[in-house]
């Protein structure tokens, strides 16, 4: 039986995104999927940002059931396929034909290693002298956002979620380049992930909220934690 519009079903989402500012979670139940029998990753190189987003978008809209789509500039677009062996091979061949570009294939072990590196943001983990940002954007906007940022800043970056998630790092500065990054976003969100404490203390780590949304956040905080015991100021000042 499907239950809809029940307030209690929204609470896990609210608490998960609250970074411990509303309540303490003492137990959780996770629903997980079985581990795929195998996986492969299609690799397409020699693409710029726009070509990469277009290729990832085409792949995600196809019937190939792409499980992951990422782009590392200077390397390639990576498209992950998971499932039983014959199904993966069939979908790989169909997707390669649809994309119409020369491809390479990462077999299961190499595929898993590549996606672990993408998951762990390994590309940007080599220097503590640079600040790491996580940008959530509309995939089709990603190339223009990156072009604007590259004009102003020394950035390293890669894209995940078919262009909807941009990881980037910038040189260490007192303002963490927050003004330039957030000005380029439009309707997206930018979160400062790695920075020294003195920078995090002066820069909004999470995307600043419009006044109406900020007021709503304050009311939610007051409802769950009227004494302001849980991580005060962790996400937004006064919350």
The vertex-5 CA angle with 4 and 8, nearest 5°, equals 100
Q: What are phi and psi of 115, to 5 degrees?
A: -75, -25
| 124-160: pLDDT as tens digits | 998 888 999 999 999 999 999 999 999 999 999 999 9
Q: Are 66 and 80 in contact (CB under 8 A)?
A: yes
Q: Which domains does the chain have, with CATH numbers?
A: 38-119 (3.30.70.2190), 122-200 (3.30.70.240)
pLDDT value of residue 43? 99
- Taking each continuous run of H as one helix and of E as one strand, the counts in the chain are 8, 8
| 39-79: pLDDT as tens digits | 999 999 999 999 999 999 999 999 999 999 999 999 999 99
The vertex-169 CA angle with 167 and 171, nearest 5°, equals 170
| 78-117: pLDDT as tens digits | 999 999 999 999 999 999 999 999 999 999 999 999 999 9
**Structural element, H or E, at residue 133:** strand 130-136
- Quote the mean pLDDT of the chain: 93
pLDDT value of residue 2? 53
pLDDT tops 80 at residue 6: no
Q: Are 192 and 176 in contact (CB under 8 A)?
A: yes
pLDDT tops 80 at residue 175: yes
pLDDT value of residue 233? 84
pLDDT value of residue 141? 97
Distance (Å, whole) CA 75 – CA 77: 7
pLDDT tops 60 at residue 174: yes
pLDDT tops 70 at residue 30: yes
pLDDT tops 90 at residue 239: no
Considering the chain, what percentage of its residues have pLDDT values greater than 70?
Answer: 96
């Amino acid at each position: 039986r499907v239950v809809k519009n029940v307030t209690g079903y929204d609470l896990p989402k609210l608490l998960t995104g609250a970074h411990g500012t509303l309540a303490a979670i003492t137990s959780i139940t996770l629903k997980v999927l079985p581990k795929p029998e195998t996986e492969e990753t299609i690799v397409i190189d020699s693409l710029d940002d726009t070509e990469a987003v277009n290729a990832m978008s085409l792949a995600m809209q196809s019937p190939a059931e792409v499980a992951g789509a990422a782009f590392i500039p200077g390397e390639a677009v990576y498209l992950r396929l998971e499932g039983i062996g014959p199904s993966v091979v069939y979908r790989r061949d169909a997707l390669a034909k649809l994309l119409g570009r020369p491809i390479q294939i990462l077999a299961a072990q190499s595929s898993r290693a590549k996606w672990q590196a993408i998951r762990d943001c390994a590309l940007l983990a080599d220097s503590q002298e640079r600040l790491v940002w996580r940008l959530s954007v509309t995939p089709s906007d990603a190339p223009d956002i990156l072009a604007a940022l590259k004009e102003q800043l020394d950035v390293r970056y890669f894209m995940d979620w078919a262009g909807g998630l941009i990881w980037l790092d910038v040189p260490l500065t007192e303002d963490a380049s927050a003004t330039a990054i957030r000005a380029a976003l439009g309707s997206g969100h930018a979160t400062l992930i790695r920075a020294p404490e003195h920078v995090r203390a002066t820069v909004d780590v999470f995307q600043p909220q419009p006044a109406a949304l900020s007021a709503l956040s304050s009311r939610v905080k007051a409802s769950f934690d009227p004494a302001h015991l849980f991580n005060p100021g962790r996400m937004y000042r006064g919350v």
